[in-house]
Amino acid sequence: MRLQRFAFGSVQIDGKTYDHDVVLDRGVIRKREKKASRPLRSAYGHTPLSLSEKIPWDCRRLVIGTGAQGALPLVPELWREAERRGVELVALPTPDAIALLRKDSEGTNAVLHVTC
């Protein structure tokens, strides 16, 4: 999987441009379905990443791209669940998350937020 380009509002992977958040799960790309986390929006000022979503836990490391400015909130329970599962959780602004994935993506899944 080649992460080629990131610009505010889109990410290009393997020659295809996605204009929505994406989940990279063992080589499969899918849209992040954040509807389940929307009830938490008022508490965070933004729809956070929460355990209500389908998180790609089947990995040794989970990289979360928190947006261009790093504004995507993560619920505290996400960190606890990663620890419970023995998954290293790394949260970085999306440009930094992509740089990390380009360098070493073996055994790694990701959730990439493409705005804020």
Q: What separation in angstroms does the CA of 13 have from each of 1, 29, 41, 102, 108? A: 7, 9, 28, 11, 15
pLDDT given at position 108: 98
pLDDT in tens, 66-105: 999 999 999 999 999 999 999 999 999 999 999 999 999 9
Express the helix, strand and coil content of the chain in percent, nearest 5 each. 25, 35, 40
- Tell me which residue range forms the domain holding 77: 3-113
Q: What pLDDT score does 1 carry? A: 84
> Count of domains in the chain?
1
Query: Which among 26, 30, 112 has a CA at the least distance from the CA of 63?
Result: 112
pLDDT, residue 50, reads 98
Chain segment 13-58, per-residue pLDDT in tens: 999 999 999 999 999 999 999 999 999 999 999 999 999 999 999 9
**70/114 Cα distance (integer angstroms):** 10
CATH number for the domain spanning 45: value is: 3.40.1230.10
pTM of the predicted model as reported, rounded to 2 decimal places = 0.96
How many CB atoms lie under 10 A from the CB of residue 83? 11
Q: How far is CA 116 from CA 53, 77, 108, in A?
A: 19, 22, 23
Does 63 or 116 have the greater pLDDT score? 63
